Structure 1
Amino acid sequence: MAVRLGHTIKAVLFQVHSVAGLVLALLLSLIALTGAIMSFEDEIVDHLNAGIMQVAPRQAPPLMPDELVARLIAAQDLGKVAAVTLSSDPSAAVHVRFGRDEQGGWPASLYVDPYDAHVLGSPRGEAFFATVRRLHRWLLIPGDRKGWGRPITGTIALGLIVMLVTGLVLRWPRRAGSVKMWLKPNLALGGRALQRSLHTVIGTWVLPVYLAMTLTGLYFSFEWYKDGVTWLLVRPHVTAAKMPAKSPRAANSEPVRPIGFDQAWTTFQREEGDRFSKALLTLPAQGTTLRIRSWGKASLLETTRDEFRIDTVTGQLVSAERFADKTFGEKVIAAIYDIHRGEILGWPGKLVFMIVAITMPLFLVTGILLYLSRRRLRRPAQPPLGRLVPGE
């Protein structure tokens, strides 16, 4: 009875694995390949634009952000500036980003000379990687993160978890001596046997990486998942970590003056001194509180950053979150994106994650071939014509 029950359970799991694979394999391959393309995006973009990201340092101090933006807009018909990236390196250009245009698109960003606001050029590769990113995250479905693409990719990720778990259960070795066979593909085989060996053995190799990618990717797909991870890792700090949507000044009846970067930038420089390497200043969509993300000179990861919120009118420091002061759980949450792409392990980790992502189409091809071969084997054979007699 127990043996029969075990066979029944495995048969059900096999059907679940097969159906999920046939339905999701093409989209999973698309998401995986676009993720692989973005693995070394920063390095590629920096290499392509090395000529416009540096300037000759001068004795004169660089322009304050508001004056730089004013000169830039006066010289060209540009959209509304949304963010600027400033550096402590006197030879680094300022990176200026713009808000959405009237058509809802994102204008190309610009690199600007920090000393005279001279435009150095738009970064090559930016539009390409922006499209790849939208395809990876939202399948190019309108609305971006607010549209249907976000829950759809999240559902696909849940489907991949089902495939990984069912595949692992179906493959679990019955005897300890079979572990070597479990992890070593038999390349001497041919046809359906080789397809099955590649599908199962390589799938076992890459399973931990796929699981890491999927569990961290879900953090960006579903609010309920994000809230659950946050509650699990930083329970006492959940309420304190949430920032107010508006600064205190935005709630009163005083007229709001035009906001800019200078007051916040001055406060930030006073707080940080020369400890930062670069800082991203983002104007608020509403209210007067500007967000500044800064990276230290020894920072190697995107997530090892400090974050400040400063009132743009008064220059008052609203909040400061320093990476060094975070709890272990908060650091894990901050590093989710770096875990997702393997960067938490440095460039070797990114390379491994990229290679693993590239293997996803292998499971699409071998899975379809195995499905078609099973259908052929199940098809009843036609009786030979020579054995038929009249009337049959």
Structure 2
Amino acid sequence: MVRTILFRLHWALGLTAGLVLVVLGVTGALMSYEEAIGEWADRDRASMPVQDAVRLGPEAMVARLQAQRPGARVSTLTLSGDPERTPRARFSTDAKTGARPPSAYLDPYDGRDLGPPRLESAFATIRDLHRWLLVPGDGKGWGRSVTGASTIALLVFLATGLYLRWPQIHSWRVWLRPRLARPGRARWWSLHTIAGTWLLPAYALIALSGLWWSYDGYRTVATWALTGEAPRTRPSRMPGRSGPAEPLALDRTWAAFQAGEGAGATLAIVTLPAADATAIRIRYLTRDAPDSRARNDITFDAATGAQASVSRDADKPLGQRMADNMLEVHRGRFFGGIVAFVFFAASLLMPVLAVSGLVLYALRRRSARRRATSASPGLETARPLKV
């Protein structure tokens, strides 16, 4: 009875949540290498030869770019330690339209706008499709609820699938070796179950980390499990101030950063204070960083350029690092390039599992109809009654 219930639950979820999971898998695979794809598409804008001229400071870059984009306000400025890499700026969301203007690459010598990233809009659409299926309302609409419920369904898939295929003979050949030479339904069953077994750890971690953005209560519990404390919000205000300083001490901040913690940094993302904040935040990578997610975090007073706080990735325990880099955990990059590729392949193979499951369901239904037809009694020929 238990096996029958779990089997029906498995295929019922496949017929409902399966399509959503296919969409999440394909879009997630595309976003796994968003940066690499974008770098290739923007290779003529993302870099330029080094010139025998003085590079502009951050204040001049921001001022000249905002002059070319009337009404736009720079929110972040990404600077590289490689002199051939061009800076990239992002803008704040427009208060009237609720839309964010396209980002811009800029010439570091004269501040000229080199144009937006070519695939930024496309990946923004893919990201919205992945998060809430392009349903109106964005994160506050019912699309987020559907993707969250489908992610839970993926965990149920894994648990019920593991139970249903638990073999009586425990051998690695039974568990991990596909038998695609077998005809008919046996071939599809082997493809579906063996692929699911191989990819089960990746799917489990993808689902558990994906729920981080679906449910606030789950994020609170997961944060406590990883760090032993409730989620922390970054302080945006500094004591004694009511708003951002004008003008910002951006050049002084940058000079203090380069002379101190940021000496030799390979990447720096400078976040300018919003209307309700007075600190300039810089997330940066050092040359000895083990990978791209080991970012340090430092803040400066926006009026004076004095250092306010610093948080180094190497000083954090593993749980805190995972909580601070949950997106990289979700994409597998937190565990290294090999795991990231496994996550990419697992996401891309989601349609294979869905199609093989549907084929198995259709073949099983057809077989059941044949058995029902052969088992039904035929009409007997009427015989004359004897008088």
Q: TM-score, normalising length from structure 1?
A: 0.87
CA contact under 8 A between 1:40 and 1:350: conserved in structure 2?
no
| Backbone CA RMSD of aligned residues | 2.6
Aligned residue for 2:165? 171
User: Which digits, 9 at most, give the CA deviation of each residue in 1:327-347, with x for residues without a partner?
Assistant: 222123234322322223443
Unaligned regions of 5+ residues in structure 2, if any? none
CA contact under 8 A between 1:306 and 1:323: conserved in structure 2?
yes
Shift in CA distance, 291/89, structure 1 to aligned 2, threshold 3 Å: same
Aligned residue for 1:55? 48
> SS of the counterpart of 1:381?
helix
Q: CA deviation at 1:352?
A: 2.1
Aligned pairs (5 A) from 1:1-392: 8-77=1-70, 79-101=72-94, 102-177=96-171, 179-235=172-228, 238=230, 242-251=233-242, 257=246, 259=248, 261-285=250-274, 286-299=276-289, 301-379=291-369, 380-381=372-373, 387=380, 389=382
> SS of the counterpart of 2:174?
helix
CA contact under 8 A between 1:185 and 1:198: conserved in structure 2?
yes
CA contact under 8 A between 2:273 and 2:302: conserved in structure 1?
no
- What fraction of aligned residue pairs are identical, expressed as a percent? 39
The AA in structure 2 aligned to 1:359 is: L
CA distance in 1, matches of 2:308, 2:143: 34
The AA in structure 2 aligned to 1:275 is: G
> SS of the counterpart of 2:235?
coil
User: Which digits, 9 at most, give the CA deviation of each residue in 1:301-340, with x for residues without a partner?
Assistant: 3420011222212323332111111122212323432232
> SS of the counterpart of 2:97?
coil
CA contact under 8 A between 1:110 and 1:119: conserved in structure 2?
yes
Shift in CA distance, 256/290, structure 1 to aligned 2, threshold 3 Å: closer
CA distance in 1, matches of 2:269, 2:141: 27
CA contact under 8 A between 1:96 and 1:110: conserved in structure 2?
yes
Shift in CA distance, 330/168, structure 1 to aligned 2, threshold 3 Å: same
The AA in structure 1 aligned to 2:128 is: R
> SS of the counterpart of 1:85?
strand
Number of residue pairs aligned between Structure 1 and Structure 2 = 379
CA contact under 8 A between 2:88 and 2:105: conserved in structure 1?
yes
Q: TM-score, normalising length from structure 2?
A: 0.88
CA contact under 8 A between 1:275 and 1:297: conserved in structure 2?
yes
Shift in CA distance, 317/223, structure 1 to aligned 2, threshold 3 Å: farther
The AA in structure 1 aligned to 2:362 is: L
Aligned residue for 1:3? none
CA distance in 2, matches of 1:180, 1:321: 48
The AA in structure 1 aligned to 2:19 is: L
Q: CA deviation at 1:385?
A: 7.3
The AA in structure 2 aligned to 1:308 is: I
Q: CA deviation at 1:210?
A: 0.7
Shift in CA distance, 244/274, structure 1 to aligned 2, threshold 3 Å: closer
CA contact under 8 A between 1:263 and 1:313: conserved in structure 2?
no
CA distance in 2, matches of 1:58, 1:274: 22
CA contact under 8 A between 1:281 and 1:291: conserved in structure 2?
yes
> SS of the counterpart of 2:105?
strand
Shift in CA distance, 375/366, structure 1 to aligned 2, threshold 3 Å: same
Q: CA deviation at 1:232?
A: 1.5
Q: CA deviation at 1:287?
A: 2.0
Q: CA deviation at 1:213?
A: 1.0
Q: CA deviation at 1:274?
A: 2.0
User: Which digits, 9 at most, give the CA deviation of each residue in 1:223-263, with x for residues without a partner?
Assistant: 2222212212222x657x54324222445xx8964546334
